[in-house]
Structure 1
């Protein structure tokens, strides 16, 4: 286990793959930790994969309230720490929002961007405030059932694997989860994302209840030349639910842009 000290506390990260491979940094979704990417890493051979737990998640310290810009600063500090020159940033959901903000603030750090199941603006303040209130009243477990419905298609929800992801969510730090909700609620990256000019791959899940395909497509349309794909049968976490299909789209993009 490796730690990067930030002004707010300790940020946990992990590096896998060859030291001389192109560096790819992975940003997780709300309510998950760096294990989110376990199923796809073997399908992306040759890369130097850097995964991390954003503040308030996994083994990282909570860190208090933060904006998407703050979370992008954490990501920038990690990229500078691990070295390897400009990297490809792969972000899912809030991780994709972090990627957009990072690409805008520090374009010198990125070769390219993969945005999975995310958007420049996700949800309304009313929706996020309601979720924050529910978590404060009843803990993260109180929202687990509807979150699982938004995360996964019905077929996956019928498998034993669902219990593992439900457990990951419910064991999340409530303060860290609330801080993540607040960051998403306050963020509208539309204008900044429309200025991005780096190679970008945008992915959506056909059955995603958190960031539906039309929402994701609208963000892809903001970035000139961005490639957009919908993964059939996938929900909000296709790297978990349909890892082969997700990796089949990402691997060629990395081969072209990671070095």
Structure 2
């Protein structure tokens, strides 16, 4: 466990791989922490310097009171990468992490040379939808949305695995202010215009059973960037890196190799 003070906020992070490795940054989804990437990182080839972190309000990072804005979450990632020397990185973002990736690429192309947009979109849901979710949490805690979230996160077969309860626990133990703050950040975000102006290599990844960002939604966003491509991992929901890490890591490895990172 390592903490980085980015100016009044401490973010928990982990770096795997050699100091001279090609830089890669992973940003996780709403309601998860950096352990989301454990099985993928373990399957990646040698020669990569991989940074994972808990965004504000999640995991072991500081949890300031909401509201949060997407601009603030993007700035957090920017400051962390600057502090740790991650430049010209491949940025892998899942769900809200993919929104952070889009915002960061539009703001600091010196930090991001390629992106993996996984189970994400330029705009996710509606403001009313997110306000309803926040109201549910304020009334009944995160447990009130847990069952519905699991249905969107995972395909049915994963429910029978020994690992399933841990992910439900991770969601339910997310600090409530942090979860609400990130909901508010997503509600106010629309990257259609800035993402359509990006010119960099992009790989999109979708889960065929994803109830949060279905494949067509991911495709709509990925297609905004010329030359991008979309891969669909069958039989997975919103977190294919958890359900099928072998397939997920293979897609990343192929994309990284095409960028000359390995």
Aligned equivalents of 1:133 and 1:8: distance in 2?
29
Change (3 A) 1:149 1:49: same
Q: CA deviation at 1:158?
A: 2.1
Aligned equivalents of 1:123 and 1:199: distance in 2?
26
Q: CA deviation at 1:115?
A: 0.6
Residues 121-169 of structure 1: CA distance to partner in whole angstroms, max 9, x if unpaired?
Answer: 0001111111100111111111110000000000101222110000000
Q: CA deviation at 1:42?
A: 1.7
Please list, as runs of the form range in 1=range in 2, the aligned pairs for 1:239-250 lying within 5 A after superposition. Answer: 239-250=241-252
Q: Secondary structure at the match of 1:13?
A: strand
Alpha-carbon contact 2:57-2:175 (below 8 Å) kept? yes
Aligned equivalents of 2:217 and 2:153: distance in 1?
15
Give ranges in structure 2 of 5+ residues lacking alignment: none
Q: CA deviation at 1:8?
A: 4.4
Alpha-carbon contact 1:125-1:186 (below 8 Å) kept? yes
> Counterpart of 1:55?
56
> Counterpart of 2:198?
196
Question: In the alignment, which of 122, 132, 135 is matched to residue 134 of structure 2?
Answer: 132
Q: CA deviation at 1:85?
A: 3.1
Aligned equivalents of 1:256 and 1:214: distance in 2?
25
Aligned equivalents of 1:119 and 1:60: distance in 2?
25
**1:169 aligned onto 2:171:** yes
> Counterpart of 2:189?
187
Aligned equivalents of 2:171 and 2:227: distance in 1?
35
Please list, as runs of the form range in 1=range in 2, the aligned pairs for 1:135-146 lying within 5 A after superposition. Answer: 135-146=137-148
Q: Secondary structure at the match of 1:108?
A: coil
> Counterpart of 1:20?
20
Change (3 A) 1:167 1:216: same
Q: CA deviation at 1:258?
A: 5.7
Segments of 4+ moved more than 3 angstroms: none
Alpha-carbon contact 1:24-1:258 (below 8 Å) kept? no
Aligned equivalents of 2:199 and 2:104: distance in 1?
13
**What is the root-mean-square deviation of aligned Cα atoms in Å?**
1.1
Q: CA deviation at 1:256?
A: 2.4
Please list, as runs of the form range in 1=range in 2, the aligned pairs for 1:210-249 lying within 5 A after superposition. Answer: 210-249=212-251
Q: CA deviation at 1:14?
A: 0.8
Aligned equivalents of 1:96 and 1:8: distance in 2?
24
Aligned equivalents of 1:149 and 1:247: distance in 2?
23
Q: CA deviation at 1:94?
A: 0.1
Q: CA deviation at 1:240?
A: 0.3
Q: Tell me the TM-score normalised to structure 2 length.
A: 0.96
Aligned equivalents of 2:8 and 2:215: distance in 1?
35
Aligned equivalents of 1:129 and 1:136: distance in 2?
10
Aligned equivalents of 2:208 and 2:144: distance in 1?
26
Q: How many residues align?
A: 259
> Counterpart of 2:43?
43
Aligned equivalents of 1:84 and 1:96: distance in 2?
18
> Counterpart of 1:256?
258
Q: Secondary structure at the match of 1:215?
A: helix
Q: CA deviation at 1:69?
A: 1.4
